[in-house]
A and B are shown apart, each in its own frame.
Chain A
């Protein structure tokens, strides 16, 4: 059953913190958030490249930002100023959820559109959650990013591995949890149950 609790989580988080979350909870993240994308994970998990970042207990977001190259300074330690940072569709990266968690210790995936059954199993077995951000609201999302602190695998730019410093990142909705809850699966099942009636009505016009 969906809850409506609101809470703030500083990253990194513990397994217990993540396992306490349920679909419907609203979470605001504070601290560090890592940005990953298709190419990042293809190179990390299919081509054996390593990152120097420690992702254990951390949150990652499915993104590839718009950035401006600048001289490194205390405000722009990685030599990049954020221009527009948003979120991409998660489902393309479904098969990387388990290695992200198993090999890197990631606990939280932030994305849009949801992940599938294999990710849901990984969240249950390894202790993780999926937080739904609203896709296409990048102007707002960018205001939650304080700085681009660091970047790795930058030859893949814009699909580098980004380290963002965040403030008040959210609220984000827990849409998949560690006890088998998936809002996407629920919505999909309800929608498909209406299919035949919707088609019958169309046919009768």
Chain B
């Protein structure tokens, strides 16, 4: 397939706006599940308001949350694609800028030292564009994640040592959830990276935090740990918005990478209850949108 660059630009624009307005089905189901088991009256009231907001956003065509986030585009290139990578990157950036200008959206992106806002949602190295490859022929997948700062500001890395074992990972995750309290807009998806190098570990935490609810770590040890931690963090009583209750997290998600014999890294990145993402699949037949 020859990748149509104009189509990529349109998709990058459309994805940003769709992600901000329509919550994925798995997150909606996650809300229903948390609401069913919430025992705290205040927590139930907060969850009900969050669920109501999802409907208001869809009925009024408005954004779910004011935070347009740091834009992230995850590009997966299948087999048999012909595309110029430089053109692909430029098209995604143009699509992101057009969404911001044409909707319009609040540009939440500034220079880190001057704090100047170009009002384009873009800047040096932003949007974040990650590239991966898949076996699927004639298919280009673009996932868009507007990552809100309330949750992103609660990100941590600990280079624990092997002697501390898996207990260091468990302790670190629980302490991060305690320190985040209500600041991350709980209920959250707690993303945990385990292993790798420092940068890979932090990246995996983000991958974990933005994985669909119901998905499971593909490493059996990681899957067992995410089950145990999912139950553990919801025993703390932080609750929706940190105002008390059972629903502190939809889930704890873990992503694993091999690491060095001397290392035991663990990173945490959280996704807020407005766990927004959108996906476009470009094939010779056209573009389809989903989550």
Contact = CB atoms under 8 A, between A and B. Distances in A.
Interface of A: 39, 63-69, 83-89, 91-92, 112-114, 132, 134-140, 142-143, 157-158, 173, 175, 183-184, 186-188, 190-192, 194-195, 198-199, 201-203, 205
Contacts of A91: 183
Contact of A86 (B67, B115, B241): B67
Contact of B106 (A65, A69, A173): A65
A69 B182 CA distance: 33
B178 A199 contact: no
A183 B46 CA distance: 14
A135 B175 CA distance: 22
A68 B62 CA distance: 13
Contacts of A191: 178, 181, 236-238
B185 A113 contact: yes
8 contacts: A83-B63, A83-B105, A114-B242, A132-B241, A137-B53, A173-B42, A187-B244, A191-B181
B150 A187 contact: no
Contacts of A87: 66
Contact of A194 (B148, B237, B240, B274): B237
B106 A158 contact: yes
Contacts of B269: none
B49 interface: yes
A69 B49 CA distance: 30
Contact of A135 (B57, B103, B117, B185): B185
Interface stretch (B166-174, B208-216, B279-287): B166-174
Given A64-B108, A191-B178, 16 more contacts: A66-B66, A83-B103, A88-B66, A88-B150, A89-B149, A89-B183, A112-B182, A114-B181, A132-B243, A134-B53, A139-B60, A139-B62, A140-B52, A158-B117, A187-B182, A191-B236
A113 B150 contact: yes
Contacts of A65: 66, 106
A68 B50 contact: no
Interface string B233-251: 0011111111110000000
Interface in B171-218: 171, 174-175, 178, 181-185
A91 B183 CA distance: 7
Contacts of A136: 50, 53, 64-65, 67, 148, 150, 185, 272-274
A157 B104 CA distance: 14
B171 A199 contact: yes
A140 B62 CA distance: 9
Nearest to A2: B42
A194 B274 CA distance: 27
Contacts of B232: 198-199, 201-202
A188 B181 contact: yes
6 closest A-B pairs by CB: A86-B66, A139-B57, A137-B53, A84-B63, A113-B183, A136-B274
- Which of B103, B171, B185, B239 has its CB near the most chain A CB atoms (within 10 A)? B185
Contacts of A113: 150, 181-185, 241-242
A139 B273 CA distance: 14
Interface string B146-157: 001110010000
A201 B167 CA distance: 11
Interface in B46-72: 46, 49-50, 52-53, 56-57, 60, 62-68
Contacts of B65: 84, 86, 135-138
A95 B149 CA distance: 19
A85 B66 contact: yes
